[in-house]
């Protein structure tokens, strides 16, 4: 028997199901209709909760791994291991926050340039700039003029 | 005939043809690049099709699909790395044949097998979809609800040992679709005071996030491989040998037909797609061969079988989609999304109510296979160029493209947040071994399930009807057995009770709803099921209860 990362995920799922079940109490009950609007999500949450309990039990029953088999990672090693993923998440979140101010054209060029440089390193910076300009600019032209989609303009850039 | 002509004119319209050519080319490229799946290519095509008429949009998506299914063979044969999971088995003999100095022949066999598989399944789609739709007309809300549950459990059961994770993913997918206003009475659910949540998550943004974004993150995780290109080949001088390949295919026509049928059948089963069909048909081709000593060393049959079957899968997957509104795999689920985007709800009356659109799908499926053959040689050169691009560059460009595409759905920045959020969720799920297919099916089918549950209870509030009506009982039985199936597989050849009784029990249980359905054919099937079940039990009893 062991408490592992699967057990943690299962516990999180049980907590999430419980919290959402509580949130379902806030759903207004209308005087009409046969099936209450809360009934279907509650049914799903009960199933989800039940499955999460099974998952928890399964994870606990899993044979304990030898400590030597599982190398423990320090926070530094963890960040190093996941650095690309963390970089993509962070840059994408910043891009989304800045999008209303920069607009899609400038925002996308900056996003792709920064992401390319962070993932690929400084050596290819000129190529990254060209790719960012070509890909983001090309897509902006395609969507704006060929597909006639109104892409957001930035409140700061006006583009 | 008028409807057929209308559909034909829809498809041979020059603009549609151009979109189809671009679609096949894009699909061939996407399929050929390991790590970039067909589903990802189709899901990224969705935003483009939003502004198109339904027939044009679907024809474009079908073209991407057909191209993608055939694209996987290029990298599989030339580099030994399958472009998609659907072409894993193609590498077993394709790569050795290419290394033995016959890359042109290997590619030719692969291309023509894909073509034949596609055409056979298109013919079967035209023949079977209307028949299945006629059966579907018997379905009532109870049956549709159980059909959705069956689709989810079967997809989850494909996770094998991780069945519970698959079921959790399916339930989570159903839940995601409940966020926002309830369709029946318009009451907000889980909106937490947010106007965006009140409108619900846009499910296409959810699909792109879950599938494409999370896949790109997985491709970029390793900093070393992210900076590598797929191949360092400067050029490839391969001429596809069409004539010799066709000759070999004609000699092995039984392998072509058998594999296409395996692919078609696998495609009809919810959740089971090309990744299973190609291995299954390769295995069958090997077992059926009189001399299997050359398999794995460049046997043409080892290329024909997986390629014919993986292209036939989509005809199978489109059959339940067109006939019942239930997708056979993830790509068909995305196609369902495209139909819903255009306010077309597929179901048993779809072919009758929207015949021009149904014929357009058939014609597009046929035509795309011909376009694929014509474009394969040209795309081969582009493939070599694309494989020289570094992974992180390709991933960044695709991510930027996905962002604009998602925005274009409703001109909403909130949809890009949805993409981001579900991208993270999809990535975490991948890391923890949760399959994404049940979740995607849950998201796509969630509304259908709830709607039919509400309809069923509005007609009769007795919940037992879900288990006593013939078709709903039929689906409930298969759903239960599909959940037990991974446990049965685990205990096979151990002599356990489950192993001895599983298959006879399935047949016995299924005979009950078949009897309840009545009619000559179904009663005969029920009697046959009981007879086969009894025969298996008698044989096992005779051999001292050994399987």
Among A41, A72, A103, the domain-final residue is A72
Among B185, B216, B403, select the one facing A33 at the smallest CB separation.
B185
Best A19, A37, A85, A95 residue to mutate vs chain B (most B CBs within 10 Å) = A37
Q: Is position A84 within any domain?
A: yes
Cα–Cα distances in Å, from B340 out to A142, B174, B319, B334, B403? 25, 17, 17, 10, 21
B397–A92: do the CB atoms touch at under 8 Å? no
**Which of B171, B226, B416 minimises the CB distance to A84?**
B226
Mark whether A33 and A47 lie in a shared domain: yes
Decide: B515 and B523 in contact? Cβ < 8 Å: yes
Residues 6+ apart with CB under 8 A from B479: B146, B149, B150, B153, B154
pLDDT classification of A66: cutoffs 50, 70, 90: low
pLDDT at B362: 86
Chain B hits for A151, Cβ within 8 Å: 404, 407-408
Rounded distance between C-alpha atoms, residue B409 and residue A30, angstroms:
32
Of B122, B141, B70, B154, the C-alpha closest to B329 is B154
Question: Which of the residues B403, B412, B431, B447 would you substitute to probe the A interface, choosing the one with the greatest number of A C-beta atoms within 10 Å?
Answer: B403
* Residue at A102 is within a domain: yes
Tokens 């298969």 map to which residue? B478
In this structure, the strands spanning B188-189 and B180-181 are antiparallel
Residue of A nearest to B181 (CA): A37
Closest chain A residue to B170, measured at CA? A48
Q: What is the DSSP string of B101-133?
A: T-HHHHHHHHHHHHHHHHHHHHHHHHHHHHHHH
For residues A101 and A129, state if they share a domain: yes
Domain boundary among A33, A49, A72: A72
> Alpha-carbon distance B102 to B240, whole Å?
10
In a domain, A115, yes or no: yes
Same domain, A68 and A55: yes
Q: Look at B220 and A139 and tell me if their CB atoms are within 8 Å.
A: no
Q: Out of B187, B400, B413, whose CB is closest to A100?
A: B413
Angle between the N-to-C axes of helices B253-268 and B242-251, in degrees from 0 to 180, rounded to the nearest 10 = 80
Cβ neighbours of B172 in A, within 8 Å: 48
Q: What is the mean pLDDT of chain A?
A: 89
Question: What per-residue confidence (pLDDT) applies to B175?
Answer: 96
- Model confidence at A158, in pLDDT bands (50, 70, 90)? confident
pLDDT of residue A65: 62
A87 and A62 co-located in one domain: no
Within this chain, do residues A22 and A62 fall inside the same structural domain, yes or no? Answer: yes
Q: Give which of A16, A25, A32, A33 to mutate to test B binding, by max B Cβ within 10 Å.
A: A33
In B183-242, the residues whose Cβ lies within 8 Å of chain A are 184-185, 187-190, 192, 216-217, 220-223, 226-227
Same domain membership, residue A24 and residue A86:
no
Q: Do both A52 and A83 map to the same domain?
A: no
Neighbours of B316 (CB within 10 A): 31
Domain shared by A36 and A14, yes or no: yes
- Among the candidates A72, A91, A126, a domain finishes at A72
Rounding to the nearest 10 degrees, give the CA dihedral for residues B534, B540, B542, B546: -170
Looking at residue B113, what is its pLDDT?
92
* A111 located within any domain: yes
- Identify the band that residue A68 occupies on the pLDDT scale cut at 50, 70 and 90: low
Give the pLDDT score at A93. 96
Is residue B465 within 8 angstroms of chain A, CB to CB? no
Question: Consecutive 10-residue runs of chain B (547 residues): their mean pLDDT?
Answer: 80 90 88 74 81 86 86 78 78 86 88 90 86 85 91 81 90 94 87 90 86 85 84 64 90 92 82 75 85 85 92 84 80 80 78 84 88 80 76 90 85 92 93 89 88 91 92 92 83 72 90 92 94 90 72
A81 and A140 both lie in a single domain: yes
**Between the CA of residue A26 and those of A99, B23, B180, B410, what are the distances in Å?**
33, 46, 13, 29
pTM above 0.95, yes or no: no
Question: Taking CB atoms and an 8 Å cutoff, what residues of chain B touch A143?
Answer: 404, 408
Same domain? A18 vs A58 = yes
- Which residue ranges make up each domain of chain B? 2-453, 460-542
**B positions 28-57 inside 8 Å of A (CB):** 48, 51
* A153 assigned to some structural domain: no
Residue A92 and residue A30 share a domain: no
Cα–Cα distance, B323 to B349 (Å, whole number): 8
What the block records as the tokens of B325 is 């509104």
Q: Which of B192, B221, B400 sits opposite A108 (nearest CB)?
A: B400
Residues in B touching A20 (Cβ below 8 Å)? 175, 190
The two structure tokens encoding residue B103: 């890359």
Statement to judge: residues A68 and A80 lie in one domain: no
Task: Name every chain B residue with its beta carbon within 8 A of the beta carbon of A100.
Answer: 413
Contact with chain A for residue B498, Cβ under 8 A: no
- Under 8 Å between Cβ of B262 and B120: no
Give the C-alpha distances (Å, rounded to integers) separating A93 from A89, A96, A131, B44, B531.
6, 5, 21, 21, 62
Strand-pair partners of B189: B180
Distance of alpha carbon B32 from alpha carbon B71, whole angstroms: 5
Q: Which two tokens stand for residue A101?
A: 């101010």
- Look up the domain containing A50 and give its range: 5-72
Count: domains in chain A: 2
Task: Give CA–CA dist A91/A49, Å, rounded.
Answer: 34
Phi, psi of B471 (to 5 degrees): -70, -40
């Amino acid at each position: 028997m062991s408490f592992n990362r699967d057990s943690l995920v299962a516990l999180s799922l049980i907590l999430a199901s419980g919290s959402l079940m509580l949130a379902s109490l806030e759903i207004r009950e209308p005087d009409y209709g046969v099936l209450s609007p809360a009934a279907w999500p509650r049914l799903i949450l009960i199933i989800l909760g039940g499955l999460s309990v099974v998952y928890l039990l399964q994870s606990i029953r899993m044979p304990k791994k030898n400590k030597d088999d599982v190398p423990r990672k320090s926070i530094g090693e963890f960040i190093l291991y996941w650095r690309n993923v963390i970089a993509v998440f962070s840059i994408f979140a910043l891009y989304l926050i800045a999008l209303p101010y920069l607009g899609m054209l400038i925002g996308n060029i900056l996003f792709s340039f920064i992401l390319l440089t962070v993932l690929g390193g400084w050596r290819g910076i000129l190529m990254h700039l060209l790719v960012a300009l070509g890909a983001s600019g090309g897509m902006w032209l395609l969507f704006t003029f060929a597909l006639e989609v109104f892409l957001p303009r930035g409140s700061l850039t006006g583009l | 005939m008028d409807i057929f002509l209308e559909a034909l004119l829809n498809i041979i319209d020059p603009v549609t043809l151009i979109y189809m050519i671009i679609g096949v080319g894009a699909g061939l490229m996407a399929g050929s690049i390991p790590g970039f799946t067909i589903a990802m290519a189709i899901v990224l095509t969705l935003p483009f099709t939003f502004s198109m008429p339904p027939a044009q949009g679907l024809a474009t998506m079908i073209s991407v699909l057909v191209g993608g299914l055939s694209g996987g063979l290029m990298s599989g044969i030339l580099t030994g790395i399958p472009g998609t999971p659907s072409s894993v088995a193609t590498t077993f003999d394709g790569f050795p044949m290419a290394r033995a100095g016959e890359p042109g022949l290997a590619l030719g066999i692969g291309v023509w097998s894909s073509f034949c598989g596609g055409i056979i399944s298109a013919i079967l789609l035209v023949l079977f979809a209307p028949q299945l739709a006629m059966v579907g007309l018997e379905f009532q809300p109870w049956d549709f609800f159980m059909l959705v549950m069956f689709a989810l459990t079967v997809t989850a059961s494909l996770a094998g040992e991780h069945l519970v994770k698959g079921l959790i993913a399916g339930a989570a997918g159903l839940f995601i679709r409940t966020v926002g206003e309830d369709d029946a009475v318009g009451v907000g659910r889980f909106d937490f005071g947010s106007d965006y949540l009140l409108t619900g998550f846009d499910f296409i943004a959810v699909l792109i996030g879950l599938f494409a974004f999370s896949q790109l993150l997985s491709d970029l995780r390793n900093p070393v491989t992210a900076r590598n290109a797929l191949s360092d080949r400067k050029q490839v001088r391969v001429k596809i040998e069409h004539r010799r390949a066709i000759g070999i295919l004609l000699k092995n026509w039984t392998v072509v037909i058998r594999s296409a049928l395996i692919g078609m059948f696998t495609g009809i089963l919810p959740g089971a797609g090309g990744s299973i069909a190609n291995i299954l048909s390769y295995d069958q081709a090997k077992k059926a061969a009189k001399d299997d000593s050359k398999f794995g060393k460049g046997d043409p049959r080892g290329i024909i079988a997986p390629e014919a079957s993986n292209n036939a899968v989509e005809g199978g997957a489109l059959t339940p989609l067109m006939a019942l509104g239930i997708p056979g795999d993830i790509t068909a689920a995305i196609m369902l999304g495209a139909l819903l985007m255009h306010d077309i709800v597929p179901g048993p009356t779809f072919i009758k109510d929207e015949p021009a659109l149904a014929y357009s799908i058939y014609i597009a499926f046929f035509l795309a296979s011909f376009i694929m053959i014509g474009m394969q040689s040209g795309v081969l050169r582009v493939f070599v160029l694309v494989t020289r691009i570094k992974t992180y560059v390709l991933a960044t460009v695709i991510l930027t493209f996905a962002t604009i595409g998602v925005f274009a759905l409703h001109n909403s920045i909130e949809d890009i947040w949805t993409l981001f959020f579900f991208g993270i969720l999809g990535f975490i799920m991948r890391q923890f071994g949760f399959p994404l297919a049940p979740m995607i099916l849950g998201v796509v089918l969630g509304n259908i399930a709830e709607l039919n549950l509400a309809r069923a209870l509005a007609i009769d509030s007795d919940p037992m009807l879900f288990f006593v009506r013939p078709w709903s009982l039929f689906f409930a039985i298969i759903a239960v057995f599909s959940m037990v199936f991974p446990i049965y597989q685990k205990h096979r050849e151990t002599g356990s009770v489950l192993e001895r009784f599983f298959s006879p029990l399935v047949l016995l249980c299924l005979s009950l709803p078949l009897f309840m359905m009545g009619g000559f054919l179904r009663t005969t099937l029920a009697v046959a099921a009981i007879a086969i079940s009894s025969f298996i039990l008698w044989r096992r009893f005779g051999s001292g209860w050994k399987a």
